[in-house]
Chain A
Amino acid sequence: MRSIVKAVGLNKYYDQFHALKDVSIEVEQGEVLCIIGPSGSGKSTLLRCVNQLEKIDKGGLWVDGELVGYRVVGNKLHELTDAQVARQRLSTGMVFQRFNLFPHMTALQNVIEGPIQVLKRSPKEANEEAIELLARVGLADKRHSYPVELSGGQQQRVAIARALAMRPKLMLFDEPTSALDPELVGEVLSVMRDLAHSGMTMIVVTHELGFAREVSNRMVFMDGGQIVEAGSPEDILISPQNPRTQSFISAVRT
């Protein structure tokens, strides 16, 4: 198996706050990795480092075999230019907690924006594929709606379609259902479940333990900027070894 993400000794500081402490992890192609943990544990930061929305202070991160954000010259790391970073981001798609759809564009325009403007694909081709993607997330009939006219669940599904339209090798989900009304969580999870079954490599930061158990191949529990425990969903959810994991799981379960 080829690894899509490989992190070695990642460290990240926000001023004095040590957000990631020597985090090392590997994600293989086709794998679905769920990251759980209390807020402030660094799980979102780790995800955002993969997509270079955060800069790594120490350590190395490879996505699809390419060192992220830097160029090795001798024994020095030179920062990449804005354009190079943008190109590297093409291999990953990201879904945000608060959807972040472009409010001045319709659902369809949101989905075709990247393919046309960034990938320079023909509008006709991009349109056809976007309509297919919107159908796949169950929103073909909403393609001319603006985000403000859509429910949270619908917006998040458009956001997933927007990310998929870039044909990424890896999808990152940053608490994709945390901002949703409880009755809308299911429709988003169902789209993600289909995506996982289609063989997409996914890293999912989530509080939905049931979903995590069902779709993930591997789970990671983070606390205080460190990976405390990693293993199969059963290892983490049913027989956690570390006391911190145990107390978190039991707190979430009740």
Chain B
Amino acid sequence: MNQNQAERLQAERKKTENEFDITQYEHVPRRYYGRIFFATLIVIALAGLARAFANGQIEWGYIGQFLTSEAILWGLVNTIVMSILAMILGVVIGVITAIMRMSANPILRYVAITYTWLFRGTPLILQLLLWFNLALIFPVIGVPGVFQLDTVSLMTPFVAALLGLSINQGAYTAEVVRAGLLSVDTGQYEAAKSIGMPRLQALRRVILPQAMRVIIPPVGNEFISMVKMTSLASVIQYSELLHNAQNIYYANARVMELLIVAGIWYLAVVTVLSFGQSRLELRFARGAGKRS
């Protein structure tokens, strides 16, 4: 190899090296034209919607006036009370059903399965009407010879709504609770037993706190559904938010204004609930690692 050749080779190598040295170059992000186009389209559509509402025949004054009227506020209280009571009762029924469903006794298991099937398989509004009209088939209820009650006076709209909503809720919650219990590793039951815990104590101290992590998000979801499902109780004359709003618009014909009033209150309650749910989730996330 002569000198000339060696020099040429070296020059070539240098050139190649420069070609790979891009550490100083500036990075230019890619532009997503499609996204920009659709975002613009949506902004235009929203502006149109806002304009329509502004020019629509809505008496905004009525909304402000009825938002805090007595009938609406009472309806709101009744909605909240019914949601909470029906949810508590629903969770109790759900936990019992979930434990029955996991029992070794076939009768307990099949009763739980049938209950879930029946109440998940029929519309809630139908169940509410059935409870409310129970007097049509059972004029009196009770234990023969012990006590008897007049069904019509017992099945008030409140009682019928509470039974209908909670029993329906229990069927859904049962599955959520069962999933939560199944999510806890069997090693946890064994560890609890190995330090001498009887079954119930193990469930309360070790299993349920861990199952709660899995149970809370869907139950929170169902609580939010419950708040809105109480509006179905308006068909059996329970005096909740929507029912009272309807009563007012039957009298003054401001249908849309009162529906918006009810909508604002439902949104407010659900917002508060969502906030409470995330607080609760944080509490039960202790020791659960970095997953959020």
Which A residues lie at the B interface, using CB under 8 A?
51-53, 82-83, 86-87, 89-90, 92-94, 96, 98, 100-106, 113-114, 117-119, 146-148, 159, 162-163, 166
The answer on a CB contact under 8 Å between A104 and B190 is no
A182 to B193, CA, bound (A): 29
The answer on a CB contact under 8 Å between B287 and A148 is yes
**A146/B199 contact (C-beta < 8 A), A51-B194, A94-B194, A100-B188 known:** no
**A86/B197 contact (C-beta < 8 A), A96-B190, A101-B191 known:** yes
Q: How many residues from B make CB contacts under 8 Å with A? A: 23
A214 to B218, CA, bound (A): 53
**A82/B199 contact (C-beta < 8 A), A102-B191, A102-B206, A113-B205 known:** yes
A residues in contact with B187, CB < 8 Å: 96, 98, 100
The answer on a CB contact under 8 Å between B194 and A89 is yes
Can you list 27 contacts pairing A with B, beta carbon distance less than 8 Å?
Answer: A82-B198, A83-B198, A86-B197, A87-B196, A93-B195, A94-B194, A100-B185, A100-B187, A100-B188, A100-B190, A101-B191, A102-B210, A104-B209, A104-B288, A105-B287, A113-B195, A114-B195, A114-B197, A117-B205, A118-B195, A118-B197, A119-B196, A146-B286, A146-B287, A148-B287, A148-B289, A163-B194
For residue B201, CB closer than 8 A to chain A, the reply is yes
Which B residues lie at the A interface, using CB under 8 A?
185, 187-188, 190-199, 201, 205-206, 209-210, 284, 286-289
The answer on a CB contact under 8 Å between A89 and B193 is yes
Task: Please give 19 more A-B residue pairs, beta carbons under 8 A apart, in addition to A104-B287, A117-B197.
Answer: A52-B193, A53-B190, A86-B193, A93-B195, A94-B194, A96-B194, A100-B188, A102-B188, A102-B210, A103-B210, A104-B210, A104-B288, A118-B195, A118-B196, A118-B197, A146-B286, A148-B288, A163-B194, A163-B195
**A114/B196 contact (C-beta < 8 A), A98-B187, A103-B210 known:** yes
Task: Give the distance to chain A from B193, nearest Cβ to Cβ, in Å.
Answer: 6
Which 5 residue pairs spanning A and B have beta carbons closest together?
A114-B195, A146-B287, A100-B191, A94-B194, A100-B187
A100 to B209, CA, bound (A): 15
A residues in contact with B205, CB < 8 Å: 113, 117
User: Quick one: which of B191, B192, B289 has the most chain A CB within 10 A?
Assistant: B191
A residues in contact with B197, CB < 8 Å: 86, 114, 117-118
A51 to B206, CA, bound (A): 19
A residues in contact with B198, CB < 8 Å: 82-83, 86
A104 to B185, CA, bound (A): 13
A52 to B199, CA, bound (A): 13
The answer on a CB contact under 8 Å between A53 and B196 is no
- In the complex, what residue of chain B is closest to A51 when comparing beta carbons? B194
The answer on a CB contact under 8 Å between B196 and A89 is yes
Task: Give the distance to chain B from A171, nearest Cβ to Cβ, in Å.
Answer: 11
A94 to B198, CA, bound (A): 16
A86 to B193, CA, bound (A): 7
- In the complex, what residue of chain B is closest to A146 when comparing beta carbons? B287
Task: Give the distance to chain B from A235, nearest Cβ to Cβ, in Å.
Answer: 31
A106 to B199, CA, bound (A): 22
A166 to B206, CA, bound (A): 17
A residues in contact with B192, CB < 8 Å: 102
A163 to B194, CA, bound (A): 8
- In the complex, what residue of chain B is closest to A94 when comparing beta carbons? B194
Task: Give the distance to chain A from B285, nearest Cβ to Cβ, in Å.
Answer: 9
A86 to B190, CA, bound (A): 11
Task: Give the distance to chain B from A2, nearest Cβ to Cβ, in Å.
Answer: 22
A residues in contact with B188, CB < 8 Å: 100, 102
**A96/B191 contact (C-beta < 8 A), A103-B210, A103-B288 known:** yes
**A117/B190 contact (C-beta < 8 A), A103-B210, A148-B288 known:** no
The answer on a CB contact under 8 Å between A93 and B194 is yes
A88 to B95, CA, bound (A): 29
B residues in contact with A147, CB < 8 Å: 287
A145 to B290, CA, bound (A): 14
Task: Give the distance to chain B from A88, nearest Cβ to Cβ, in Å.
Answer: 9
A residues in contact with B206, CB < 8 Å: 102
- In the complex, what residue of chain A is closest to B186 when comparing beta carbons? A100
A residues in contact with B284, CB < 8 Å: 104
A52 to B210, CA, bound (A): 24
A residues in contact with B191, CB < 8 Å: 94, 96, 100-102, 159
